[in-house]
A and B are shown apart, each in its own frame.
Chain A
Amino acid sequence: MQRLRTLVVDDEPHIRTAIERTLELLEFPIADIEETVTFGFEEAGSAEEALEIIEAGAPEILLLDLKLPGMSGLDLLERVGPKMSETLVIMITAYASIETAVRATKSGAYDFLAKPFTPEELEHVLQKASRHIVTAKQARALAAEQRQVRFQFLSVLAHELKAPLNAIEGYLDTVIDRTAGDNPAVYEEMMRRCRTRAQYMRKLIIDLLDLTRIESGKKKREITDVPVAAIADLAKNTMLPEAEARNISISVSCDPALVLRGDPGEIEMVFNNLISNAVKYNKDNGKVTVQCEREGDCVVIAVSDTGIGMTEEERAQLFESFSRVKNDKTFGILGSGLGLAIVKKVATIYNGDASVQSAPDEGSTFTVRLHDAKVDMDGANM
């Protein structure tokens, strides 16, 4: 229930009283969103009086007579216009000409009401206005929430970018000042770790750019028939050196003729992130299995590993940005914390979804469903 503050400015007391009577009884449900509005009545007999009320706090609706003794309705609007960015102004006028309507609208009026008006006409105008106010309020709340989400993302991002620098600076400092004793192997290890952290910082930046590009929707997408097996092999080959070093096998089972309508770069991001995770979080001598098949109008990609797996609790926030599972089993495994967020974002663009099944110490299976990308009527890629 929302009560909208309504200020009625008219020099004729009987009009103010008539409006008050109508307002008292009014109650509108706002369709689509479950909200009901009522109206709180305030009145002023002159623009000067109204000015005082508005300066103390702008109402949500201003019913304003154009012709007032002293300062006119239009003059009042000019005076307080900037203060009332969230106020809907409804002009009341006895001269219902097109010309008046145009003038009123130019000075910021949302609607106007011709004198004399019936209670039904007043109700109609108020219903339209209140719907506008409630939806505008919702839009503002949503925008504020988005700003908050963006701020939080940036705070976490700053922390994630500082972390590798903190480690690297600490190591360099120690190596230069020789504060870790006489064993040269310790210093060598520190330099190696510096290099690894720098590499992962680069990876974080690349992932971040991928994610932003997908989210902004501004990147020019190249929708073609993507050969899924070829992309899967490409991603497999990228991870092969790391997999072979730990004796992990990667097998891809996919019909070479399988195609998906989509952007090859986006599909590659999915395979790259899933296969890379399946190797990173695997055990030595483990297995990675990639299976792709068509199910109706979508392609299902399943990547299984024989790795460390996850508990249900650890799975909960897995697809969120910068959420990484941290425990003694993931100790020393570096990642940007963005890989699965990217996979999820891509799946969403393809009207699909990303999910995981997992058992601790047995392994995980990530399943991504992607629908063929559609091209909309304007020829733009959707």
Chain B
Amino acid sequence: MASKKVLVIDDDPDILFFCKSLLEAEGYTVKTAISGAEGLEAAQTEQPDLIILDIMMEKINTGYTIAEKLGKDVPILMFSSMLNPSDTIFDPESVPYRDVISKPISGATLLDKVREHLA
């Protein structure tokens, strides 16, 4: 079976490198995008099995806008560096994300969540 493909969208190159290193070591195929626009394009061309998306990129809520555009076909994990989940301004009902991973990201948590949502 071909390895599962994960698309990571974050405007921080180090977060992309970090996720790529970890997920590739686990045998996943990893694609990265540094902006919301690139992410949307990659989601089309790469047809990933899972998308990991940072909430705050160019603007505070870029991540939500992107998630809404991506729709419900692919599971989405959100990265958030907000201290408090209640600081988030979105309505979980309207944004089709599956789970939130808080920054700083623990490698173990990242792998657990990816495994869980790709199972």
Give A residues with C-beta under 8 Å from B. 159, 162-163, 165-167, 169-171, 173-174, 177, 179-183, 186, 189-190, 193, 197, 326-328, 331-332
CB neighbours of A167 from chain B (8 A)? 12, 14-15, 18
| Interface contact A326-B35, CB-CB below 8 Å | yes
CB neighbours of A190 from chain B (8 A)? 17-18, 21
| Interface contact A326-B11, CB-CB below 8 Å | yes
| Interface contact B24-A197, CB-CB below 8 Å | no
CB neighbours of A169 from chain B (8 A)? 104
Closest-CB distance, B112 to chain A (whole angstroms): 11
Indicate which residue in B25, B81, B105 contacts A163 across the interface (CB closer than 8 Å).
Answer: B81
| Interface contact A180-B12, CB-CB below 8 Å | no
| Interface contact B38-A162, CB-CB below 8 Å | no
| Interface contact B107-A174, CB-CB below 8 Å | yes
| Interface contact A193-B17, CB-CB below 8 Å | yes
- Given the interface pairs A171-B18, A174-B22, A179-B25, the reply to whether A165 lies near B104 with Cβ below 8 Å is yes
- Given the interface pairs A167-B12, A180-B22, A332-B13, the reply to whether A162 lies near B103 with Cβ below 8 Å is yes
| Interface contact B17-A159, CB-CB below 8 Å | no
- Cα distance A169–B106 when bound, in Å? 8
Give B residues with C-beta under 8 Å from A. 11-15, 17-18, 21-22, 24-25, 34-35, 38, 56-58, 81, 103-108, 111
| Interface contact B15-A166, CB-CB below 8 Å | yes
Provide 11 A-B residue pairs closer than 8 Å at the C-beta atoms, listed in order of the A residue: A166-B12, A166-B15, A166-B81, A167-B14, A170-B106, A174-B107, A180-B21, A180-B25, A189-B17, A327-B38, A331-B13
CB neighbours of A197 from chain B (8 A)? 14
CB neighbours of B17 from chain A (8 A)? 189-190, 193
| Interface contact B18-A174, CB-CB below 8 Å | yes
Question: How many contacts A-B (CB < 8 Å)?
Answer: 73
- Given the interface pairs A166-B103, A170-B15, the reply to whether A328 lies near B38 with Cβ below 8 Å is yes
Closest-CB distance, B81 to chain A (whole angstroms): 5
Indicate which residue in B12, B103, B108 contacts A179 across the interface (CB closer than 8 Å).
Answer: B108
Which residue on B lies nearest to A179, using beta carbons? B107
Closest-CB distance, A132 to chain B (whole angstroms): 39
Indicate which residue in B57, B104, B111 contacts A166 across the interface (CB closer than 8 Å).
Answer: B104
Chain A CB within 10 Å — which of B13, B56, B58, B111 has the most? B13
- Cα distance A300–B34 when bound, in Å? 36
- Given the interface pairs A177-B108, A181-B25, the reply to whether A171 lies near B14 with Cβ below 8 Å is yes
CB neighbours of B111 from chain A (8 A)? 179
CB neighbours of A332 from chain B (8 A)? 13
| Interface contact B18-A170, CB-CB below 8 Å | yes
CB neighbours of B81 from chain A (8 A)? 159, 162-163, 166
- Cα distance A9–B14 when bound, in Å? 69
Which residue on B lies nearest to A176, using beta carbons? B107
- Cα distance A179–B57 when bound, in Å? 26
Which residue on A lies nearest to B13, using beta carbons? A332
Indicate which residue in B14, B21, B106 contacts A186 across the interface (CB closer than 8 Å).
Answer: B21
| Interface contact A163-B12, CB-CB below 8 Å | yes
Indicate which residue in A165, A180, A193 contacts B107 across the interface (CB closer than 8 Å).
Answer: A180
CB neighbours of B38 from chain A (8 A)? 327-328
Which residue on B lies nearest to A194, using beta carbons? B14
Closest 9 CB pairs between A and B? A181-B25, A167-B14, A169-B104, A179-B107, A166-B103, A180-B21, A166-B104, A174-B107, A170-B18
Chain B CB within 10 Å — which of A171, A183, A326 has the most? A326
- Cα distance A316–B79 when bound, in Å? 28
Closest-CB distance, B74 to chain A (whole angstroms): 22
Closest-CB distance, A331 to chain B (whole angstroms): 5
- Cα distance A186–B13 when bound, in Å? 15
CB neighbours of A166 from chain B (8 A)? 12, 15, 81, 103-105
Closest-CB distance, A300 to chain B (whole angstroms): 33
CB neighbours of A165 from chain B (8 A)? 104
- Cα distance A179–B24 when bound, in Å? 11
- Cα distance A189–B34 when bound, in Å? 19
Which residue on B lies nearest to A182, using beta carbons? B25
| Interface contact A193-B34, CB-CB below 8 Å | no
Indicate which residue in B13, B56, B57, B107 contacts A173 across the interface (CB closer than 8 Å).
Answer: B107
